[in-house]
Amino acid sequence: HVAYTNLIDSLFKTGSAWEAFVFQNQMIVRGITFDLVLCTALMDGLFKSGQPREAEEMFHILSELNLIPNNIAYTVLIDGRCKLGDMKGGESLLKEMHKKLAKPTVVTYASIINGYARKGMLDEAVNVMKRMLEQNIAPNAYIYAILIRGFFKDGRSELASELYEEVRRSGLQLNNFILDALVNSSKRGGKMEAAEGLFKEMNSGGLLLDCINYTSLMDGLFKAGNESGALAIAEEMRQKGVKFD
């Protein structure tokens, strides 16, 4: 039932894995059949609540239920493995997808790219993006954000900047994470003018700046002694009614 799926999914998402388990058992008692969407939600919740063993088990149970994993089910499993640093495990599932009817999507690749990026294996991450392109899957701003942030964090800001130029040229709508990464890098280099420039550019470029974008810039301006500049940003925030988090 969809109601159960929604309930269990949101219980996991609010950190109540234990309650989710209770309802899962209730479904069994009432003889409600598990469908693929529910099983996928369970796998995802189990991974995110630190129960990878059980999540993997759920994947195996799929065949017992005569359910065929689709791209989302695979992606959840891949993401779970990659977040635990098991890149070989993630890659082997990706190969498996190609043999089956489950076509990888940009989300699937994002999980793998992020896995490598977390490990500081950025060249490998870029390689995965190339493989993705060969599959005719276009990268999105999300993918670029992962890579740009990764390269900055790794101290390779030249490559981060190159990727930034690449997204810009692509015409994709930039996102808040990309701006954040760029502004942080400028802040660290003591280049507040550059940070302000990027900020204004994206502000007028169709990106809806969020709370972190504003407060991050304000932080930099304050620390650079530019109080009036910081206050002007605060005023703009208020005028635009930016949501606080």
Partner RNA sequence: UAUCUAGACAAAGACUG
Write out the residues near RNA by the rule CB under 7 A.
Answer: 1-2, 5-6, 9, 13, 35-38, 40-41, 44, 70-73, 75-76, 79, 83, 105-108, 110-111, 114, 117-118, 140-143, 145-146, 149, 175-177, 179-181, 184, 210-213, 215-216, 219, 245
Q: Give whichever of 59 and 165 is closer to RNA, judged by the CB atom.
A: 59
Q: Give whichever of 117 and 163 is closer to RNA, judged by the CB atom.
A: 117
Give me the least distance between CB of 148 and RNA, in Å please: 9
Rounded CA separation 21/124 (Å)? 38
Rounded CA separation 32/75 (Å)? 25
Give me the least distance between CB of 162 and RNA, in Å please: 18
Give me the least distance between CB of 112 and RNA, in Å please: 9
The pair of structure tokens assigned to 187 is 């802040």
Amino acid at 213: N
Rounded CA separation 116/82 (Å)? 8
Q: Give whichever of 44 and 196 is closer to RNA, judged by the CB atom.
A: 44
Which of 156, 66, 79, 65 has the alpha carbon at shortest distance from 116? Answer: 79
Rounded CA separation 169/162 (Å)? 11
Structure-derived torsion over alpha carbons of residues 43, 44, 49, 54, reported in degrees to the nearest 10: 10
Give me the least distance between CB of 184 and RNA, in Å please: 5
Amino acid at 138: A
Which of 174, 164, 233 has the alpha carbon at shortest distance from 208? Answer: 174
Q: Give whichever of 47 and 165 is closer to RNA, judged by the CB atom.
A: 47
Rounded CA separation 47/221 (Å)? 40
Q: Give whichever of 18 and 97 is closer to RNA, judged by the CB atom.
A: 97
Give me the least distance between CB of 144 and RNA, in Å please: 8
Q: Give whichever of 106 and 194 is closer to RNA, judged by the CB atom.
A: 106
Give me the least distance between CB of 128 and RNA, in Å please: 12
